[in-house]
Amino acid sequence: MTAKRRTWDRCPETLEAAFHDPENCPLDPAAKVALSDDPRTYKWALYLLRNMAEFGRQDAGVFLIGLLMTCGDKWEKRTAIVGMLHAVETDACVDVLLGELRKVKSTNSTRRYLQAVLDALTCLPSKLVRTKLQALAEDVSLTPWVQTRIQAAVDDLR
């Protein structure tokens, strides 16, 4: 019996050209693909939106944050989006991520997501994150698991 080889998903044709010029490509094609619930489809749009944000496209960052807010309980998709938010180096992004730590209850199904939120925060410039994260670490309403992870994230800030 032979092992199955992983077949790499191809980038949707609507996004291929945009990857060559993320600074000037339109947001609409990536936004439409990002709304999909299929991880093989939306991951390409998230990569493109992250690249656009890294090139200073504020509209891409705003869309990523808005997409996160509309995902509901789709933890896999939320985790993927949060993984791209390190490119959105703004106070608003930090506030949204910190809000997620306050809002999302720590359970077995959400811990991976909460860790991704903390990872994204530690990738952002410490001047944006440090004081807010330290203040959140002292919040007694958070579970001990979350408080411990927040304190570790504060210690890991660059």
35 in a domain, yes or no? yes
Domain shared by 20 and 84, yes or no: yes
Q: Is the pLDDT of residue 4 over 70?
A: no
Here the tokens at position 147 are 């408080």
Confidence of residue 26 (pLDDT cuts 50, 70, 90): confident
79 domain-assigned: yes
Do residue 65 and residue 77 come from a single domain? yes
Q: pLDDT (tens digit, 9 = 90+) per residue, 71-98? A: 999 999 999 999 999 999 999 999 999 9
63 assigned to some structural domain: yes
Does residue 2 fall inside a structural domain?
Answer: no
Q: Are residues 109 and 133 in the same domain?
A: yes
**Pick from 88, 106, 127: which residue ends a domain?**
88
Whether residues 94 and 158 share a domain: the answer is yes
Q: With pLDDT > 90 as the criterion, what percentage of the chain qualifies?
A: 68
Domain boundary among 88, 116, 132: 88
Q: What are the Cα distances from residue 52, in Å, to 42, 94, 117?
A: 15, 18, 20
- Mean pLDDT, rounded, of the chain: 88
Q: Do 43 and 96 have their domain in common? A: no
Q: Structural domain of residue 155, as residue ranges?
A: 89-158
Number of domains in the chain: 2
Q: Is the pLDDT of residue 115 over 70?
A: yes
Residues 107 and 154 in one domain: yes
